[in-house]
Copies of this chain bind each other. A is one copy, B any other.
Amino acid sequence: MVNEAQHTCSASCSSKSDGGSSSGSESSKDSSRCSTPVLDADRHERLREKMRRRQDSGDKWFSLEFFPPRTANAAVNLISRFDRMGAGGPLFIDVTWHPAGDPGSDKETSSMIIANTAVNYCGLETILHMTCCNQTKDDITGHLQKAKRLGLKNIMALRGDPAGEEWEEEVDGFNYAVDLVKHIRNEFDDYFDICVAGYPKGHPEAESYEADLRHLKEKVFAGADFIITQLFFRSETFLTFMKDCQAIGITCPIIPGIFPIQGYHSLRQLVKLSKLEVPQEIKDVIEPIKDNDAAIRNYGVELAVSMCRELLDSGMVHGLHFYTLNREVATTEVLKRLGIWKEDPRRPLPWAVSAHPKRRVEDVRPIFWASRPKSYIYRTQEWDDFPNGRWGNSSSPAFGELKDYYLFYLKSKSPREELLKMWGEELTGEESVFEVFTCYITGEPNKNGHKVTCMPWNDDPLATETNLLKEQLEKVNRRGILTINSQPNINGKPSTDPIVGWGPSGGYVFQKAYLEFFTSSEIVTALLKVLKKYELRVNYHIVNVKGQNITNAPDLQPNAVTWGIFPGREIIQPTVVDPVSFLSWKDEAFALWIEQWAKLYEEESPSRMIIQYIHDNYYLVNLVDNDFPLENCLWQVVDDTFELLN
């Protein structure tokens, strides 16, 4: 994510300036203070403002178009593609509207829900397409209200294809995209940013190219903020179109739609739908290699890169819109070759921010959900306020229940067969569970030769930061301290540190060492004796599935475990160990044993009973070493505990 907030304001008036008024003073007094230190201007801007800012700064950008998948499994895959492609820094993604697929419904494959997931769970600025043809005003208003409720802020207003052959204009109906634009502005004022489609060769049904340009101008004047074009095959096509638009007074951004050819059949189908003609020179290349997918893709990438270069070099184009066809490789390749794929390791906050407008002010989270951010967002989606930098200010927010562990955006990316290979087709005892945890930490294959790349509490391989603790983690997992979350102590590393850094540059980040694990009651008994020695240094929370809770946390106050100091700003403390939310997390953490692991096995099977036993009898423990400038003492605590047991 590119962070633009670092620039300092220029002097507000020169020391040389004359004039006796205290205007400087007054304007400052009137200014509204922001409730949260602005670390990331992006979070507070609407899409059209971001676009403007990028254009002003000369910073080229890209966006990505996806369509809703047909099956729930494909939806899971698409969401992890959003996460991966989101890492390249698209300015936005957009999700097409499939009238035949019940697009406004709550189905996991609907346009609405895919767009909702992109915004809320993947943190992506998202445009939802919407077509108006053959729909009632009430239907459309209903869809728009729902989109707004879900946190969607941008609509691509389209006519859509008429349902039958015999389409006739309806009086007062939605006959053209312009009607939808007007409707959105009438009913929702300036709430949505609106995008409309442009046709570089003219819409196939338009009377003429010129008539189509006039239609486009109508759409813009009705309230559209920017234009994305249909695909085209030559850069001149777009550049001419753009000049023609400007000539008749269209001044908003016009973004070229880029279609990297990825295969013979997909090209043919797209051409058929869009009624475009493929230039002869392209046909000449493709026909001879039509059965060689790799060759066609290479050619497509080559072609797209050179056309994009021409567009960017023209000086008229600031952003490129990619028709991905839900595929990853070709588009990513083009973007990397153009140098606009920007995997910025810098994070505005230690956790990935959500793009819902009401979460703009969110700047603190409990550490427990560090590896399950989507679950955290799901469980806090009803919150109207976020704790606003201090949990103390929040009026005891209640976490939503997490009963449906199979919500597609919370589901493991791995199917059951793979999970069984990783976590064991058959467990022989608690030790075989220890073994699974150990393999996940080491990255070594288990005894059947399978790597353990995820766990019920972590759907991804070990984070780079956790890797710093690998050796110690391996040792303790082998002995039944089953770790699910940890962070090393950090005493003032630069905020640009590639591993632990976050926030604007010029700052310093800090952490208290943290360790969270499941373990047996026998180990807990020894641990508690050891912890007496560390009473003033280590804070602990120890709880079992029944809620029996042992802690030395003072007055149930949150303990800040990650914080940052930045130039000219207040302290940011984005991660806390909060005793109250720990008891909500505890329910989820214990349930994952059953929901994700035990249920892989037959009821009453020995494997299932082993997991059930752990669920019923183990404790969930978290430890914080408050003395962050010293060497982390938590490993010593664990060593002392094992020694006491021997």
Chain A residues with CB under 8 Å of chain B are: 5, 7-17, 19-26, 28-29, 31-38, 388-394, 396, 398, 491-492, 506, 508, 510, 521, 524-525, 528, 535-537, 539, 542-543, 546-560, 563, 565-571, 573, 576, 579-580, 583, 586, 619, 624, 626-629
Contacts and interface: CB of A to CB of B under 8 A. Distances in A.
Given A15-B550, A546-B21, A535 B391 contact: no
Interface centre among A34, A553, A565 (most CB of B within 10 A): A565
A390 B570 contact: yes
A506 B627 CA distance: 8
Contacts of A566: 626
26 contacts: A7-B554, A8-B539, A8-B553, A9-B553, A9-B555, A11-B550, A11-B552, A12-B551, A14-B550, A15-B525, A19-B548, A20-B546, A22-B548, A24-B547, A24-B583, A25-B543, A26-B547, A31-B396, A32-B396, A34-B392, A37-B557, A506-B536, A508-B628, A537-B567, A552-B568, A565-B626
A560 B556 contact: no
Given A36-B392, A391-B33, A525-B15, A560 B552 contact: no
A391 B390 CA distance: 12
Say how many copies of this protein the assembly contains. 2
Contact of A15 (B10, B491, B521): B521
Contacts of A9: 551-555
Given A551-B11, A571-B573, A35 B393 contact: yes
A520 to B, nearest CB: 11
A555 B33 CA distance: 8
B539 A567 contact: yes
A570 B558 contact: yes
Given A9-B554, A13-B550, A33-B391, 14 more contacts: A8-B535, A15-B528, A16-B525, A19-B546, A20-B546, A24-B543, A24-B548, A25-B547, A29-B580, A37-B557, A389-B392, A390-B570, A506-B536, A554-B569
A8 B552 contact: yes
Contact of A548 (B13, B579, B627): B13
Contacts of A389: 390, 392
